[in-house]
Amino acid sequence: MTKPSALRPRFWETVPLSKMTPQEWEALCDGCGKCCLNKLEDADTGEVWFTNIACRLFDDATCRCANYEIRKTLVPECVVLTPDTIGEISYWMPRSCAYRRVAEGRPLADWHPLVSGDAQSVHRAGASMQNRTLGEFDIPEDDWEDHIIDEEI
């Protein structure tokens, strides 16, 4: 997480996503790890279900990508969230996601590290996937439906 001193005070309340600095954009991530979960999407309705099956690069202990800088190279199907793509892929993000919340004009959750001042608050609040995931190569894709979870866990 970026050091808070390098960020404008409460920037997420006053700065549009498209105008955030790269450091602010990265700091907005709450560290929940839900974006790294494999999802199932109904081709007819567009409804998305989250599973507890994580991307091969997901570090279950830290709730971070093990190879963040080159994730798209290593996992071509990785959905990379940017200020330019948030509008078209926010439905793919959990409702609790800070990027989605800000894009929708909602406040950050009380457990968000930028609000609490504590990077571990997301885990203590039970809002993260820390130590709750299965590896995508451990579960046959045909069985993923058996691993659908409530995205707000």
Give the count of beta carbons closer than 10 Å to the beta carbon of residue 96: 21
Question: What is this structure's pTM?
Answer: 0.89
Contact 125, 133 (CB under 8 A): no
Token code pair at residue 152: 């707000």
SS3 148: strand
pLDDT at site 153:
52
Label residue 75 exposed, middle or buried (CB < 10 Å: 0-12, 13-18, 19+). middle
Q: What pLDDT digit, counting tens, does each position of 57-108 carry?
A: 999 999 999 999 999 999 999 988 999 999 898 888 999 999 999 999 999 9
SS3 75: coil
Contact 100, 86 (CB under 8 A): yes
- Give domain limits for the chain: 4-138
Within a 13 Å sphere around the CA of 52, how many CA atoms are in the beta-carbon half?
14
User: CA end-to-end span of the chain, whole Å?
Assistant: 22
Q: What pLDDT digit, counting tens, does each position of 101-152 carry?
A: 999 999 999 999 999 999 999 999 999 999 999 999 999 999 999 999 987 6
Cα separation, 29 vs 44, whole angstroms: 31
Rounded to the nearest 5°, which phi and psi values hold at 60? Answer: -60, -30
